[in-house]
Amino acid sequence: MSEPENNESALSTGIPATVDPAAPIANTPPPPPVKPVVVPPVPPKKTVPLSNDPISRFRNKTEVEDARMGFIDHLMELRKRLWVSIIAVAACILVALIFYEVVYAFLLEPIRIIDEKYVKIYSLAGKPPADGHIIHITTTEPLGSMLSVIWLGFWAGLVIAAPIVVYELWAFVSPGLHDKEKGAIKPVLYGGAFFFVAGTAIAYFILAPLTFDFFLWLDLRLKVTPNWTAEKCVELLITMMVVSGLLWEIPLLVAGMARFGMLSAGWLLKYWRGLTFGSIVLGAIVSPGNDLISMGAFSGMILGIYLISILMAAIFYRKSDDPYAGNPSTNGIQKS
């Protein structure tokens, strides 16, 4: 039987016809080659350990570098930093209350030195005091000593815990800052701490002895028995130290304003008369005592701060922003 007959019989019977393998296949274009999909490798995320504070160690987690934090994450981080600061302040206050005798003796040391000075003077004059003291530290209230101890412990604890609180604040803010911003703020933090400590030291070693010496001299000239209360002495000394520390932040403020071109050493020198008068008035206002010696001491210290501010402005000022820098003969001072 021939091939056409086979095909016709296959169609009539429903059986598929056989295909001759030698028959030619229609010319169809080949499919395009499939390009392999190259998946770039995902770099591993850099992780850094959390800060070495007790809560971070307790959580035992890691922070993803350059990761964006949500609002809830910020609140959790703020809560953690606040808890660390509160625990640090409470612990430092407790330590200061435990060692209150050391803190109390430290704050009354300037008065003790002045007392020994006048005891030697009276001894050389042949009039030594009967009990060996010129100044008698007393209290006028039953709870006076206890309140003084609590107040001392509170302030001493705040001072001791201040570095930890500042660090926790910096640790919360610094992740959202750029490197340039961090580089600009770090000197401010270090400089602020340095100037505040310098101001409190000046008040403790210079201003307070001058003030207490004048008080004692005046009492003796008026033939008044110097029975000073511990609460007033400690309050006066702490107030002088805090005010002096805050005043010594002025050079840092001037340096920052000069760095942004808002203030120049030439301007400070140009208006030296008004600024000198203002320094004297400010010293009289912020002085804790109402006597001439303490007001004069604070006014003299503020004048020294004014001179240091001129130096800071000259160092940190951007000369390109100085409106008087174009004329070298003025040296930054506008001629009238």
Q: How confident is the model at residue 87 (pLDDT cuts 50, 70, 90)?
A: very high
**pLDDT for 42:** 64
Residues 103 and 227 placed together within one structural domain of the fold: yes
Whether 46 is covered by a domain: the verdict is no
pLDDT at 296 over 70: yes
**pLDDT for 178:** 83
Q: What percent of the chain has pLDDT over 90?
A: 22
Residues 275 and 181 placed together within one structural domain of the fold: no
Residues 232 and 296 placed together within one structural domain of the fold: no
Q: Which amino acid is at 15?
A: I
Both tokens of residue 18?
Answer: 């056989």
pLDDT at 81 over 80: yes
Residues 84 and 157 placed together within one structural domain of the fold: yes
**pLDDT for 69:** 65
Residues 260 and 318 placed together within one structural domain of the fold: yes
pLDDT at 90 over 90: yes
245 φ/ψ angles, rounded to the nearest 5 degrees: -65, -40
User: Pick from 232, 248, 264: which residue ends a domain?
Assistant: 248
Whether 336 is covered by a domain: the verdict is yes
Both tokens of residue 273?
Answer: 């008369």
Q: What is the Cα–Cα distance from 286 to 290, expressed in whole angstroms?
A: 10
DSSP one-letter code for 23: S
Residues 209 and 123 placed together within one structural domain of the fold: yes
Mean pLDDT computed over 85-107 = 92
Whether 301 is covered by a domain: the verdict is yes
Whether 41 is covered by a domain: the verdict is no
Q: How confident is the model at residue 27 (pLDDT cuts 50, 70, 90)?
A: low
Whether 273 is covered by a domain: the verdict is yes
Contact 324, 268 (CB under 8 A): no
- Judged by DSSP in three states, 134 sits in coil
Whether 61 is covered by a domain: the verdict is no
User: Pick from 200, 227, 248: which residue ends a domain?
Assistant: 248
pLDDT at 248 over 90: yes
* Per-residue model confidence as pLDDT tens digits over 154-193: 988 988 898 899 888 888 888 888 887 787 778 778 888 8
Residues 146 and 259 placed together within one structural domain of the fold: no
pLDDT at 247 over 50: yes
Q: What is the Cα–Cα distance from 250 to 306, expressed in whole angstroms?
A: 8
Q: What is the Cα–Cα distance from 65 to 84, expressed in whole angstroms?
A: 22
Q: What is the Cα–Cα distance from 153 to 107, expressed in whole angstroms?
A: 12
Q: How confident is the model at residue 18 (pLDDT cuts 50, 70, 90)?
A: low
Q: What is the Cα–Cα distance from 91 to 110, expressed in whole angstroms?
A: 28
**Residues 6+ away with beta carbon under 8 Å from 275:** 268, 306
Which residues, in sequence order, are bridge partners of residue 137? 228
Mean pLDDT computed over 68-72 = 71
Residue-number span of the structural domain to which 307 is assigned: 251-336
> Alpha carbon of 178 to those of 107, 174, 258: distances in Å?
42, 8, 22
248 vs 319, more confident: 248
297 φ/ψ angles, rounded to the nearest 5 degrees: -65, -45
Residues 203 and 240 placed together within one structural domain of the fold: yes
**Structural domain count, the chain:** 2
Residues 225 and 313 placed together within one structural domain of the fold: no
**Residues 6+ away with beta carbon under 8 Å from 107:** 152, 233, 234, 237, 238
Mean pLDDT computed over 134-151 = 86
Residues 162 and 228 placed together within one structural domain of the fold: yes
Q: How confident is the model at residue 145 (pLDDT cuts 50, 70, 90)?
A: confident
17 vs 264, more confident: 264
Q: How confident is the model at residue 303 (pLDDT cuts 50, 70, 90)?
A: very high
**pLDDT for 319:** 61
Residues 80 and 168 placed together within one structural domain of the fold: yes
Whether 11 is covered by a domain: the verdict is no
User: Pick from 213, 248, 283: which residue ends a domain?
Assistant: 248
Whether 30 is covered by a domain: the verdict is no
Sole residue written with tokens 């002495």: 233
pLDDT at 59 over 50: no
Q: What is the Cα–Cα distance from 83 to 59, expressed in whole angstroms?
A: 14
Give exposure, 174-212, as e/b (b: 16+ Cβ within 10 Å).
eeeeeeeeeeeeeeeeebbeebbeebbebbbeebbbbbb
Both tokens of residue 328?
Answer: 């070298």
Residues 99 and 198 placed together within one structural domain of the fold: yes
Both tokens of residue 267?
Answer: 């301007």
Both tokens of residue 15?
Answer: 């059986």
The mean pLDDT of the chain is: 79
Both tokens of residue 80?
Answer: 């953690």
199 φ/ψ angles, rounded to the nearest 5 degrees: -65, -45
